[in-house]
């Protein structure tokens, strides 16, 4: 029986919920805004299946990749809509065209991140771009299993721990399954994301002050005014990406005006808290799926540092590192419509330490959760992540000297 005594021992993949033969496990949100399995002990028959499919309890061996590429989609529009180089879409399109199904993470109508599947090329657009919130897997492992048993091709994408959970849930290898994970820094709290959105909408509404929320998060009606959210908008470039919200705001006579609210990633409050590791899931500080342990066929991510190792292909539109770990992955990579240049695991790791290393637990995390969710999220993160006066003075002096030197 699954019994979570230490929050680090659960990655929230929901494999246990979907595999339980008595359906006596449900996912419930905790005080930090993450989902954890809760077992109805009166119904449980202690069969042990939930433990057998747990990627924390059943960790795989570390692997070395077979091939590594720097790559980007030849379709410029798809590439610019994607966080990095658009390789996910390049992998997914052939699966769809062959009558297959593609699973990925998308926003729902309340701007929560959920896992879902699509069966059309047009539907893939919902999965493009990064979603820096842990997705709700729901019943997608079971749905994928049904499609696989029907003989349909399935591409399932997710975090490394989600792919590890899927592999254990299936209990056998399927030749018609292509599993794709990504280099994961860690997953922020869905509850924190919900509070951020609520505070942001209120702040934009009154333009005066940040509202303080009650202990239970609420969904504002005005959240429906959001028509698009991009964690990684490339308007200013791939390396200097922005957090962007597109609002469709009603004006007089029932007409609507489209408003784009955009901030550089290092200025946006939610992104600053995420990059400071303030509200990652506890298991992210001791990730069970680093070093390609997830069992995925292909791992993708931003090729940070590409300007240092392959400057000739860096146009600041996004380059994807593509790490292939299985022969099946080699086949699928060989047929995609993308520009590929051979690289190495070492070159990728230089700009992506999250391939191997878990996030470090920050000392301010416990302080953050003492305030959450009763006090203003935006105010707390702003004060706790801003640079000290000494550091700001050092940066100012450095920039001053740099300008003088350049002249």
* pLDDT category of residue 135 using cuts at 50, 70 and 90: very high
- pLDDT at position 210 over 50: no
- CA–CA separation, 94 vs 358, rounded Å? 33
Q: Under a CB-based contact definition with an 8 Å cutoff, are residues 205 and 198 in contact?
A: no
As given in the structure block, the two tokens for residue 119 are: 């069966």
Backbone angles phi and psi of 190, in degrees to 5 = -60, -35
Of residues 188 and 370, the one with the higher pLDDT is 188
Nearest to 287 by CA among 367, 364, 183, 363: 183
Q: Under a CB-based contact definition with an 8 Å cutoff, are residues 29 and 43 in contact?
A: no
- pLDDT at position 407 over 80: no
pLDDT tens for each residue of 339-382: 999 999 999 999 999 999 999 999 999 999 988 877 778 888 88
pLDDT tens for each residue of 157-171: 999 999 999 999 999
* pLDDT category of residue 136 using cuts at 50, 70 and 90: very high
Report the pLDDT averaged over residues 295-312.
97
- pLDDT at position 391 over 70: no
Pairing relation of β-strands 35-39 and 25-29? antiparallel
Report the pLDDT averaged over residues 75-101.
97
Q: Under a CB-based contact definition with an 8 Å cutoff, are residues 305 and 350 in contact?
A: yes
Non-local (6+) Cβ contacts of 127 within 8 A are 88, 92, 102, 104, 105, 106, 118, 157
pLDDT tens for each residue of 267-300: 999 999 999 999 999 999 999 999 999 999 999 9
* Mean per-residue pLDDT over the chain, rounded: 89
- pLDDT at position 388 over 70: no
Q: Could you please report the per-residue DSSP string of 109-149?
A: TTS-EEEEEE-STGGGGGG-S---SPPB-TTHHHHHHHHHH
| Reported pTM | 0.89
Of residues 382 and 336, the one with the higher pLDDT is 336
* pLDDT category of residue 403 using cuts at 50, 70 and 90: low
Domain segments of the chain as ranges: 67-141+151-157+175-407
């Amino acid at each position: 029986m699954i019994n979570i005594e230490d929050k680090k021992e659960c990655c929230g993949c929901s494999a246990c919920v979907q595999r339980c033969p008595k359906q006596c496990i449900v996912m419930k949100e905790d005080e930090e805004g993450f989902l954890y399995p809760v077992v109805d002990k009166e119904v449980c028959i202690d069969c042990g299946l939930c433990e057998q499919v747990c990627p924390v309890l059943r960790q795989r061996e570390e692997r070395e990749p077979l091939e590594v590429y720097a790559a980007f989609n030849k379709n410029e529009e798809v590439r610019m809509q994607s966080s990095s180089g658009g390789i996910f879409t390049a992998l997914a399109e052939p699966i769809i065209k062959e009558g297959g199904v593609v699973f990925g993470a998308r926003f729902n109508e309340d701007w929560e991140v959920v896992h879902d599947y699509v069966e059309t090329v047009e539907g893939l657009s919902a999965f493009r771009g990064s979603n820096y919130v842990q997705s709700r897997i729901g019943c997608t492992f079971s749905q994928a299993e049904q499609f696989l048993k029907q003989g349909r091709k399935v591409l399932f994408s997710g975090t490394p721990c989600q792919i590890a959970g899927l592999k254990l849930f299936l209990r056998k290898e399927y030749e018609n399954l292509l599993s794709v994970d990504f280099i994961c820094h860690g997953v922020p709290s869905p509850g924190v994301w919900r509070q951020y959105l609520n505070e942001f909408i209120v702040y934009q509404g009154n333009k005066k002050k940040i509202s303080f929320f009650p202990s239970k998060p609420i969904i504002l009606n005005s959240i429906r005014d959001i028509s698009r959210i991009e964690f990684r908008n490339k308007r200013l470039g791939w390396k200097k990406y922005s957090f962007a919200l597109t609002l469709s705001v009603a004006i007089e006579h029932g007409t609507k005006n489209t408003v784009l609210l955009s901030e550089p990633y290092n200025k946006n409050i939610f992104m600053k808290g995420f990059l400071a590791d303030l509200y990652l899931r506890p298991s992210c500080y001791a990730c069970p799926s680093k070093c390609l342990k997830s069992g995925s066929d292909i791992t993708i991510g931003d090729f940070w540092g590409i300007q240092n190792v392959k400057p000739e292909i860096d146009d600041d539109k996004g380059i994807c590192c593509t790490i292939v770990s299985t022969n099946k992955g080699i086949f699928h990579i060989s047929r995609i419509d993308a520009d590929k240049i051979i690289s190495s695991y070492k070159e990728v790791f230089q700009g992506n330490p999250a391939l191997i290393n878990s996030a470090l637990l920050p000392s301010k995390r416990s302080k953050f959760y003492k305030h959450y969710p009763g006090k203003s999220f935006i105010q707390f993160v702003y004060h706790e992540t801003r640079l000290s006066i000494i550091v700001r003075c050092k940066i100012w002096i450095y920039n001053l000297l740099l300008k003088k030197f350049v002249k």
